[in-house]
Amino acid sequence: MTNHWIDIKNADVVVVMGGNAAENHPVGFSWVTEAMQHNNAKLVVVDPRFNRSAAVADYYANLRSGSDIAFFLGLIRYLIDTNQVNYDYVKTFTNASFIVREDYGYEDGLFTGYDPKTGSYDKESWFYELDDQGYAMVDESLEHPRCVWNLLKQHVDRYTIDKVVNITGTPKAQYEQVCQVIGATHANNKVATFLYALGWTQHTKGAQNIRSMAMVQLILGNMGMLGGGVNALRGHSNIQGITDMGLLCQNLPGYLKLPSDKDVDLQAHFEHHAPKPLRPGQTNYWQNYPKFFVSLMKSFWGEAATPENNFGYEWMPKWDMQYDVLRYFEMMKQGKVNGYIVQGFNVLSSLPNKAKINEALAKLKFLVVVDPLAVETATFWRNKKLFNEVDTANIMTEVFRLPTGCFAEEEGTIVNSGRWMQWHWKGANSPKEAKADGEIWAGILAELKRLYAEEGGALPEAVAALDWQYVNPANPTAEEVAKQLNGQDVATGRQLSSFGELKADGSTACGCWIYTGSWTEQGNMMARRDNADPSGKGITPGWSFAWPANRRILYNRASADVNGNPWDKDRTLMEWTDGKWTGIDVPDFNSKLDPQASAKTGFLMQPEGHARLFANRLMAEGPFPEHYEPMESPIGTNPMHPEVITNPAVRIFADDKAQLGDFEDFPYVGTSYHLTEHFNNWTTHSRLNAIAQPQHFIEMDEVLAKQKGIANGDWVKVSSKRNYIVTKALVTKRLQPYVVNGKTLHTIGIPLHANYEGLTREAYEINSLTPYVGDANTQTPEYKAFLVNIEKAEAI
């Protein structure tokens, strides 16, 4: 979240789209009902299903799963047409006025630079026109035909309301109403917030779904505002912490980059990742990249990291390609992986195309399952009639189970969606042999160090040099690790209070630069529990610690205009008065700069200091979002450009491509989701949750049910090109057929809580159905839009 949970109460309009906050974030949703009760906020819900969020919404609009980008590009066109654009904001804080290179172009679904052979883009032309000093050229009058604003206008011009609803299936009146309600927040004193989650990420164009919304927020002037922002609601309590800590295949902690084999040495790595400013007078915060990176190396290797050995850079693994989890299981299936350690992740029930996962795991020599529960992954080799029909005798994989404790059985910190690092204390001891994850890893590391020392091996230095100075090396405490993440002055051991103190000369060590300030010489800032809120706007600076720098609302320079006057007096975050900045939050800009100078660097992480309506070369499939169909399209065409149906930059393996279904055999749109009663595949092991929702089911509309002779509660078989499941049907008015491109379509809603090892009724796991293909940028699998068929079935 650029903002945070409590801040939702400051919104005038709350839009829940690409998520189902009431269902999946029932506690945080209290700030939505707070806004509705005490700020007279309006709740807008856009979803293929009338869900729990929609039940309390003021406005609901239906849309076909996988058509969100069309919805938004139409909305942008509507905002421009009806003059509901906050032009002062757009000109000050976005790259609308920046001039794009002459060789950039877009035509019929493709941007310039596409290579059909590799299925990827040469992104060279997706950039600004630079002057002779290397600065981007701008036209503040927005008249230049190649300025971002005019390119955007031209790009969205194709998305008329009629064309949009022809793609999304949204009833036109509903669409117009939602556009109207959102558009009204272009006024300086009206703000909308968007709450989203996996409903946007789990598509082959997931990242562009989110970008489309972020562009709308910029056009309306809702970024950096109290009650505004782009707000990802994290599904797991510590998913924010996972990404912060770099648990992604190409990241290091603090959103630093894992070096690639193109970064031949430390200097090359810095050149690739510490950008040069693209406009004069920039803060260009990533220019500090070397300070963060060297401090991280010092945290990894301590005294062994020296300027002479480039702080251990040569010991870092360098990637040659993206080893995301889909690629990894493809390699596993091909027999290229010997062992796999799976921690807190029930892969057999989670990754797409369960049959493929079964096949891949069976190719392993060993599998280590680190989990608090008896998950299906650990028994992937066991034949379970109907639910896991495998040939046990021919599976040679050796499985080790390492039981862990749960979050409540250890102390530490959890980072919530609003970037708050909240310390929590141990509530109980773990049962029996279960150990904390940290203790398990310390044990594995000790053994690795011993084996490398005794037997040698490839690059033993990296393991041997790893700094492991804890009071009890076999079980580092959460306190020790948290202090290390915060960072210290190497010579004195002093806890640092700000990442501004980090140095690139090896005199500071820091495990995650964005966390600096969380455990200072004053103690554990994350354990603070002062809920005083002097402004009444929910800022609570004394409650826990919000990274970065205890800042509660990101990009808060944009809460005030170019002269430092707040857009809305009632939403004063930062204000220029009597020649200085004052405000209720920690400034997200250089507060030594005057309003005019700081406005030019309001989005200080960007080398041009401006938010990007045009994304330059960051995205795989284009600098502007464009509507592409899901990989399995229910209409088999793309009404915008029939020659380019799906995202052209998607990576898909040959076997998986062959397993994509056709709309003639599988005519219905399958979409998966969570229910309030359960949490992933975990709470099916918990009795109270199992009582509240005891058995798997799918949801379907009444019209299709009638056609198929399916009554509410009947057994049904749902099949995709991959496999099938047999489950029960909930026939409901909450799903409605819709017309897309002249064709009546139906959605089959598929909750994902289906297990056979838990306390709920044994069920077919729904990842039997889902396609093995992910977002072109993140490789997050397309769980939200795929094709299925449905028929009545015998009871199991």
Residues that bind another protein (CB under 8 A): 22-23, 26-27, 29-30, 33-34, 36-37, 40, 50, 52-56, 58, 675-677, 687-697, 712-713, 728, 730-734, 759-761
CB of 91 or CB of 734, closer to another protein: 734
* Residue 35: C-alpha distances to residues 11, 28, 165, 177 (Å): 7, 12, 30, 20
Distance CA 398, CA 365 (A): 6
Distance CA 754, CA 767 (A): 9
Tell me the closest approach of the beta carbon of residue 169 to another protein, in angstroms.
Answer: 16
- H or E element: which one contains 213? helix 206-220
Distance CA 127, CA 278 (A): 11
Residue with tokens 């029932």: 26
Q: Cβ–Cβ contacts within 10 Å for residue 365, how many?
A: 11
Distance CA 239, CA 337 (A): 27
Tell me the closest approach of the beta carbon of residue 733 to another protein, in angstroms.
Answer: 5
Tell me the closest approach of the beta carbon of residue 55 to another protein, in angstroms.
Answer: 4
CB of 173 or CB of 264, closer to another protein: 173
CB of 27 or CB of 458, closer to another protein: 27
Q: Cβ–Cβ contacts within 10 Å for residue 561, how many?
A: 18
Tokens of 300: 């990894």
Q: Mention every residue, 6+ apart, whose C-beta is less than 8 A from residue 243.
A: 251, 255
Using the CB atoms, write b or e for 447-463: b if 16+ within 10 Å.
eebeebeeeeeeebebe
Tell me which long-range contacts 140-143 makes (C-beta under 8 A, separation of at least 24).
140/91, 140/97, 141/97, 142/91, 142/96, 142/97
Distance CA 695, CA 687 (A): 12
Tell me the closest approach of the beta carbon of residue 775 to another protein, in angstroms.
Answer: 29
Tell me the closest approach of the beta carbon of residue 731 to another protein, in angstroms.
Answer: 8
CB of 6 or CB of 294, closer to another protein: 6
- Picking from 535, 531, 501, the residue whose alpha carbon sits closest to that of residue 516 is 501
CB of 37 or CB of 118, closer to another protein: 37
Q: Do residues 79 and 183 lie in contact, with contact meaning Cβ atoms separated by under 8 Å? A: yes
Tell me the closest approach of the beta carbon of residue 686 to another protein, in angstroms.
Answer: 10
Distance CA 153, CA 577 (A): 37
Burial (CB < 10 A; 0-12, 13-18, 19+), residue 686, is: middle
Tokens of 774: 């992910």
- Strands, DSSP E only, in 384-425? 398-403, 412-415, 420-424
Tell me the closest approach of the beta carbon of residue 33 to another protein, in angstroms.
Answer: 4
CB of 28 or CB of 623, closer to another protein: 28
CB of 62 or CB of 86, closer to another protein: 62
Distance CA 709, CA 712 (A): 10
CB of 25 or CB of 298, closer to another protein: 25
CB of 109 or CB of 749, closer to another protein: 749
What DSSP character marks residue 789?
Answer: E
Tell me the closest approach of the beta carbon of residue 213 to another protein, in angstroms.
Answer: 23
Tokens of 384: 């379970």
Distance CA 85, CA 150 (A): 14
Tell me the closest approach of the beta carbon of residue 537 to another protein, in angstroms.
Answer: 19
Distance CA 153, CA 179 (A): 17
- H or E element: which one contains 222? none
* Residue 169: C-alpha distances to residues 51, 251, 638, 720 (Å): 17, 38, 14, 23
Tell me the closest approach of the beta carbon of residue 650 to another protein, in angstroms.
Answer: 35
Residue with tokens 């078989």: 717
> Could you give the angle at the alpha carbon of 341 between the alpha carbons of 440 and 301, nearest 5°?
60
CB of 180 or CB of 472, closer to another protein: 180
CB of 611 or CB of 690, closer to another protein: 690
Q: Do residues 290 and 270 lie in contact, with contact meaning Cβ atoms separated by under 8 Å? A: yes
CB of 697 or CB of 786, closer to another protein: 697
Tell me the closest approach of the beta carbon of residue 651 to another protein, in angstroms.
Answer: 38
Tell me the closest approach of the beta carbon of residue 239 to another protein, in angstroms.
Answer: 20
Q: Residue 679 — φ and ψ, nearest 5°?
A: -120, 110
CB of 54 or CB of 351, closer to another protein: 54
Distance CA 574, CA 164 (A): 38
CB of 562 or CB of 730, closer to another protein: 730
Tell me the closest approach of the beta carbon of residue 511 to another protein, in angstroms.
Answer: 34
CB of 51 or CB of 524, closer to another protein: 51
Residues composing the chain: 796
Tell me the closest approach of the beta carbon of residue 728 to another protein, in angstroms.
Answer: 5
Tell me the closest approach of the beta carbon of residue 754 to another protein, in angstroms.
Answer: 11
CB of 393 or CB of 688, closer to another protein: 688
| HEC secondary structure over 261-286 | CCCCCHHHHHHHHCCCCCCCCCCCHH
Tell me the closest approach of the beta carbon of residue 465 to another protein, in angstroms.
Answer: 48
Tell me the closest approach of the beta carbon of residue 56 to another protein, in angstroms.
Answer: 6
* Residue 27: C-alpha distances to residues 23, 166, 322 (Å): 10, 36, 36
CB of 306 or CB of 712, closer to another protein: 712
